[in-house]
Structure formats: C-alpha cells, structure tokens
Amino acid sequence: MGFFTDTSVCIGCKACEVACKEWNHVPEDGLDFTAWSYDNTKGLSADTWRHVAFIEQRKPLAGQITGVEVGKAAEGLRWLMSSDVCKHCTEAACLDVCPTGSLFRTEFGTVVVQEDICNGCGYCVPACPYGVIDQRHGDGRVWKCTLCYDRLQAGAEPACAKTCPTDSIQFGPLDELRERADARVTELRRQGVDEARLYGREPSDGVGGDGAFFLLLDEPEVYGLPPDPVVTTRDLPAMWMRCAVAVASVAVAVGGVFALGGRK
C-alpha cells in the first residue's frame, strides 16, 4: 500500500498538513514567517510529517500565458504546489541501521517508527537518502510519517488522503496507483503538459521503488527532491566483506610470525 501524489491538481490548501497533525497529535510548528511564498514549514521534520511546498516560477504551463498586465509584455507565471511525505522506501536504509528495532516494516509494506523503543541514537537520520527522518527537539527520538498505521489496521485510509479535496493525494495498492499514474501522465502530455513526469514510480530505482511517489511538473530538484536517490547502505555488505578479508589476512600473517618464532 502507498501514496500517489498528483501535484498537478494540488491547490496548496494544506488540509493534509492539518489532518496529519490532528490525527497523529503532531506538535504545532511553522508559525514563523519564512518569506518562502505561502510555505510556512520549509520542509519535512519531526514536527511536520506532511509538507506542502509552494514554488513560484516565471514560466508558463503548457504554453499558457497568465498574469499579463495591460500594456506590458506577456510572460508566464505559475505556482507549483506539492505535498511531500516520507517515501516508505522498498530498500529502506533507516531499517538497516536501526540498532533497537524501533523502525520496522508493517504488513502493508510501510516503514514505521515505534517511539517507545527508539533510543534517540540518530543513526537513521543521515541514513535516509531523502532527509525525511528527524529528531524532535527536547525529545531526542525520531519521528516521521507512519502512513497512519493505526488507521490502516482499522481498514481506513490515511488522514491526509481522506481530507484532500482534489484527490491530489491518492492511497491504495501500489500496482493500481502506478497504472493510474501512468494514465495521468499520458493524459497531461496529450494536453500539452510535456513537463509531466513520475518520480519514485519505478521499483528498479536506487531505493527499490518508493511507497510514496509523485507526478511532478518540473525537475525533482525544483521541489527539493534528490534527482537520483540511492539507498545509503547499499555498499555495507561489500565493505564488511572487505573488512573480513583484511582481518583474516592479518590473522594469517600474525599466525605465521608466531610460527616462525616458535621454531627459533
């Protein structure tokens, strides 16, 4: 199970942010003026599990000219709005490095933090290729989107998807969502929106596919997303193997020295 977020129909209402906080009892934040358009939270954090980004661009969408004043040259103007969230990676580095088992994969394929087991070591924070996981100030433990695990267990959809008025956030089986996303991209390109693309849709990418993927209208970097995320623990097996070979070589060499010394 997972999310498909269609940013082309996001209206920036932030209903998902509010619903997430209300259902999961996430502390308030984002009350300071940031001067980042209408974005008052800046990014995902321990106190922001859903983040609605506002990107203002002097660029037309599908050749449309908007915001033209009389007597001035025509120019494009658009807002890109996107509700970001934990990607619930198929190959999740945070799971690999957690020493307490606080992070676990649920029966729905999502990744959840058990706050009563988290010891605040913070190993998972740099391990996340998306920079999603964060430690709460004054608490030390890590917090992130659980994809409303308690709601899923009760047969309900996540609070953010339930409250989204435009169906920008869609929840369901990933295979069905991927088919729906492919059809949506095809439709947008037929309408002349050539910039439409899917991010995190492919199960063969650097994290084995995202449990939360997106339809974007520009490059991932524009939305603050890494262009080519890779699971940060992918080289660990090879590194440990090299370490084992090095230790074995040293042990053989030391054994040889002692053997020669014994003969003398």
Q: In this predicted model, what pLDDT tens digit does every residue of 36-70 receive, in sequence order? A: 788 888 889 999 999 999 988 877 666 565 555 55
pLDDT in the model for residue 19: 95
Residue 77 scores a pLDDT above 90: no
Instruction: Indicate the burial class of 114 (C-beta count within 10 angstroms; 0-12, 13-18, 19 or more).
Output: middle
pLDDT in the model for residue 261: 62
Q: Of residues 261 and 8, which shows the higher confidence score?
A: 8
pLDDT in the model for residue 201: 86
Asked if 170 contacts 1 with a C-beta cutoff of 8 angstroms, the reply is no
- Write the pLDDT tens digit of every residue in 120-170: 998 999 999 999 999 998 888 999 999 999 999 999 999 999 999 999 999
Residue 34 pLDDT grade (very low, low, confident, very high; cuts 50, 70, 90): confident
Triad 34, 40, 45: Cα angle to 5°: 110
What would the two tokens of residue 32 be?
Answer: 């300071």
Mean pLDDT of 205-231: 89
- Write the pLDDT tens digit of every residue in 161-202: 999 999 999 999 999 999 999 999 999 999 888 889 999 888
For the chain, what is the total number of helices (H) and then of strands (E)?
Answer: 7, 10
pLDDT in the model for residue 221: 92
Residue 258 pLDDT grade (very low, low, confident, very high; cuts 50, 70, 90): low
Asked if 184 contacts 11 with a C-beta cutoff of 8 angstroms, the reply is no
Residue 29 pLDDT grade (very low, low, confident, very high; cuts 50, 70, 90): confident
Instruction: Tell me how far apart the alpha carbons of residues 262 and 231 are, in angstroms, rounded to a whole number.
Output: 49
* Percent residues over pLDDT 90 in the chain: 56
Q: Of residues 71 and 121, which shows the higher confidence score?
A: 121
Instruction: Indicate the burial class of 54 (C-beta count within 10 angstroms; 0-12, 13-18, 19 or more).
Output: middle
Single-letter amino acid, residue 237: P
Mean pLDDT of 227-238: 73
